[in-house]
Homo-oligomer: A and B are copies of this chain.
Amino acid sequence: MNVTRRPTIIDVAHRAGVSKSTVSLVLQNSPSVREETRALVRRVMAEVGYVYNRAAAQMRMSNGGLIGLVINDLRNPFFTEFATSLQMSLAERGYTTVIANTDENPVLQHQVVGSMIEHGVSALIICPAYGDTFATFDALARGGIPALQMLRQVDGRLDLFPLIAPDYLAGSRAATRHLIAAGARRIAFVGGLEGRAVTEERKAGYLEVIGQEGLAPIIMTGKASRAFGRDAARQIFAEKSGVDGAVCFNDLVALGMVSGCHEVGWRVGDDFRIMGFDDIEEAAQTYPTLSSVHCDIAGIGVRAAQTVAEWLENGVAPAGETRTPVRLSLRQSSGPAAGLQPSGD
């Protein structure tokens, strides 16, 4: 349909009466080109509808500022909020981000990472899927591509693949303590698949506090989904075991439990107290509003962008493990707590 091929810098150069090198310098905003020349070249570019050919440039340059973001579950708002923040922050520093979704599938993840390496990403930020991932990370190591593990640790080589994650342990400790302070006595830990690093960490904080207080732990692990949370609430209701509060693996589970409580007629925050984890935007907008462990998702995105930019620009690998602080966002679902100031919106 389009007979004429795309114009190149050579076409622009001819038309402007300069050399292709000059055009290239203009593209790179080099200070060593005269202002009038720059303006002329720019004008000609607009006239002929020149578009930059990144593939050609990237082939010559070892390092074109392309950064890959691998997300394991685009359906979880936590990850999309993170992706949004990261992408904006990287854009400010002049990097382009490509996003891909692995849907928690390690095979797909392997493909996706391979494809990104082929596209010549200079670094990778990866929220890894669990499973057989050694080969995937090995490919990154062999290619000498800087890669950050975000939010979850899947590969043990923290020196090669540093981890940035919220301080889950402190978060679940604080959440559990808060439920106790609010008056709950039989508190369950609900959701999260057994054996996974994040689940174990969040569970550990819960168990620690429960132990300190001499209470009995109640563990209900399972998928981190709304459906599981809803079923868990129904089950707790049916068993009449006196459970009166839940520290949830994440906000999705917590929101599921809220639905389940509505269904069985419990009043959340009164008959039953719920703490979420992650503090996604939706938490402030449901009824009742959801108390949660606020992880400053956007802040983590900014920090990840900063870390990877410094890694690329100064060549210095970040520390093996970075934990970002968390705080509680206390709202309605955990009930009124004597002597505690609710924070969050």
Query: Which residues of A are in contact with B by a Cβ distance under 8 Å?
Result: 1-2, 6, 49, 51-56, 58-59, 64, 74-75, 77, 80-81, 83-84, 87-88, 91, 96-101, 103, 111, 114-115, 117-120, 139, 142-144, 225-227, 230, 256, 259-260, 262-263, 281-282, 285-288, 315
| Count of identical protomers in the assembly | 2
Query: In the complex the two chains form, what is the Cα distance from A142 to B4 in whole Å?
Result: 11
Contacts of A98 in B (CB 8 A): 98-100
Contacts of A84 in B (CB 8 A): 74-75, 101, 103
Query: In the complex the two chains form, what is the Cα distance from A208 to B242 in whole Å?
Result: 53
Q: Assess whether A100 is in contact with B97, with CB atoms less than 8 Å apart.
A: yes
Among B2, B52, B55, B74, point to the contact of A80 (Cβ < 8 A). Answer: B74
Query: In the complex the two chains form, what is the Cα distance from A80 to B2 in whole Å?
Result: 33
- A49 and B119 in contact, given A97-B100, A99-B99 (Cβ under 8 angstroms): no
Query: In the complex the two chains form, what is the Cα distance from A58 to B49 in whole Å?
Result: 21
30 contacts between A and B (CB under 8 A): A2-B143, A2-B144, A49-B142, A49-B143, A51-B117, A51-B118, A51-B139, A53-B118, A53-B120, A54-B118, A55-B56, A55-B64, A59-B59, A74-B83, A75-B77, A75-B80, A75-B81, A80-B101, A83-B101, A84-B101, A84-B103, A96-B119, A98-B99, A98-B100, A99-B100, A226-B285, A226-B286, A230-B287, A260-B287, A262-B262
Contacts of A58 in B (CB 8 A): 55
Q: Assess whether B53 is in contact with A56, with CB atoms less than 8 Å apart.
A: no
The secondary-structure label for the interface of chain A is helix
Query: In the complex the two chains form, what is the Cα distance from A315 to B58 in whole Å?
Result: 29
- A87 and B101 in contact, given A75-B80, A81-B75, A287-B260 (Cβ under 8 angstroms): yes
Nearest-neighbour CB distance to chain B for A41, whole angstroms, equals: 18
Contacts of A100 in B (CB 8 A): 87, 97-99
Query: In the complex the two chains form, what is the Cα distance from A282 to B6 in whole Å?
Result: 46
- A119 and B54 in contact, given A83-B74, A84-B75 (Cβ under 8 angstroms): yes
Query: In the complex the two chains form, what is the Cα distance from A49 to B135 in whole Å?
Result: 12
Query: In the complex the two chains form, what is the Cα distance from A64 to B120 in whole Å?
Result: 14
Q: Tell me which of A54, A83, A288 has the highest count of chain B C-beta atoms within 10 A of its own C-beta.
A: A54
Q: Assess whether A285 is in contact with B144, with CB atoms less than 8 Å apart.
A: no
Query: In the complex the two chains form, what is the Cα distance from A42 to B1 in whole Å?
Result: 38
- A59 and B51 in contact, given A80-B75, A286-B259 (Cβ under 8 angstroms): no
Contacts of A87 in B (CB 8 A): 100-101
Nearest-neighbour CB distance to chain B for A125, whole angstroms, equals: 14
Contacts of A1 in B (CB 8 A): 144, 315
- A91 and B75 in contact, given A142-B49, A282-B226 (Cβ under 8 angstroms): no
Query: In the complex the two chains form, what is the Cα distance from A117 to B55 in whole Å?
Result: 11
Nearest-neighbour CB distance to chain B for A154, whole angstroms, equals: 21
Nearest first, the 8 closest Cβ-Cβ pairs linking A and B are: A2-B144, A259-B287, A263-B287, A55-B58, A74-B80, A54-B118, A99-B99, A55-B59
Query: In the complex the two chains form, what is the Cα distance from A59 to B61 in whole Å?
Result: 14
Contacts of A120 in B (CB 8 A): 53-55
Nearest-neighbour CB distance to chain B for A266, whole angstroms, equals: 11
Query: In the complex the two chains form, what is the Cα distance from A51 to B142 in whole Å?
Result: 10
